[in-house]
Amino acid sequence: MNAPAGFQPNRDTQASMTEKLREEAAQGPDPVHTEPAKKQTQVIAIYGKGGIGKSFTLANLSYMMAQQGKRVLLIGCDPKSDTTSLLFGGKACPTIIETSSKKKAAGEPVVIGDVCFKRDGVFAMELGGPEVGRGCGGRGIIHGFELLEKLGFHEWDFDFVLLDFLGDVVCGGFGLPIARDMCQKVIIVGSNDLQSLYVANNVCSAVEYFRKLGGNVGVAGLVINKDDGTGEAQAFADAAGIPVLAAIPANEDIRRKSANYEIVGRPDGEWGPLFQALGVQVAEAPPLRPTPLTQEGLLGLFKGDVVGRDVVLQPASQEDMRAAGVVAKPSLEVVYEGA
């Protein structure tokens, strides 16, 4: 605030201010930090189309990483609450949202043991969602993370936190990690089919959109699940400028064991090396800024007979829309002479 006109600070005030400035200038810099760097948790959001195999990939990946000595927390952020089912042999664990509602009705607080469970070094929980037709799944995700923060989410000590999200990033709740920089990087699970790559492209578009707004989240890469060797997913990754972190084959042994809720990503198993390599890639792959494809570019990855590329759009007319035909009516427009 400016001093009133004519105001002159007295000499004692000036001397006091001068002395304070000298004391501040005499203070030395803070000592150089010599302690070991504090471990930073990698928070990674995994996206993909429903049914593409995110839960299968994450259950085996998190299990393998835990066997390699990493502290891993797996959080299911899909309203279906099926992320942890394979990890726990088909058993469903209580969700955070459902547990919170019951505890609140009983006047009791939620504690971590109510919602977080572990197996062979992997810690896992499900956010859950509203009952069918009774709420917004994305809003449920936001509410779930609010509860996690109350449970001390930012104080937990893990090497990796893996978040399993639906690829429906047009919804604010499912786009939360990208929009709010809640994770450092995104991994996409896709396959050699148009719908899964359409979702993958949407995720890349969301990342690029928020990067333009100042966000920091990037795409670490694509995991190809049920890879049949046709190459569309690889072509998408190349066009979008992201690496393929792993290609999990369309294999009957994997399908059968997964259907029986068996972990295939064991260090001593047939598929151990695949998930060991994926674990290294997940940990080390940097977050990249992708180049989303246009709709035409995405369709161009597939053969024309698969996506109907040769179809020509034909405009409809009023005659087409009315089975009984169109009756021409005289215009009611008034035309003035000399207008």
**Residues labelled catalytic:** 49, 54, 80, 168
Strand partners, 119: 122
Read off the amino acid at residue 78. D
**CB 59 within 8 Å of CB 86:** yes
Q: Is 125 left (phi over 0), alpha (psi -120 to 50) or beta?
A: beta
- CB-side neighbour CA atoms (13 Å) of 144: 31
Q: Please tell me the distance from the alpha carbon of residue 327 to that of residue 319, in angstroms, as a whole number.
A: 9
User: Of 59, 164, 151, 56, nearest to 100 (Cα)?
Assistant: 151
Give the tokens for residue 195.
């719908």
Q: State how far the alpha carbon of 175 is from the alpha carbons of 48, 167, 218, in Å.
A: 12, 8, 13
* Bridge pairing between strands 122-126 and 117-119: antiparallel
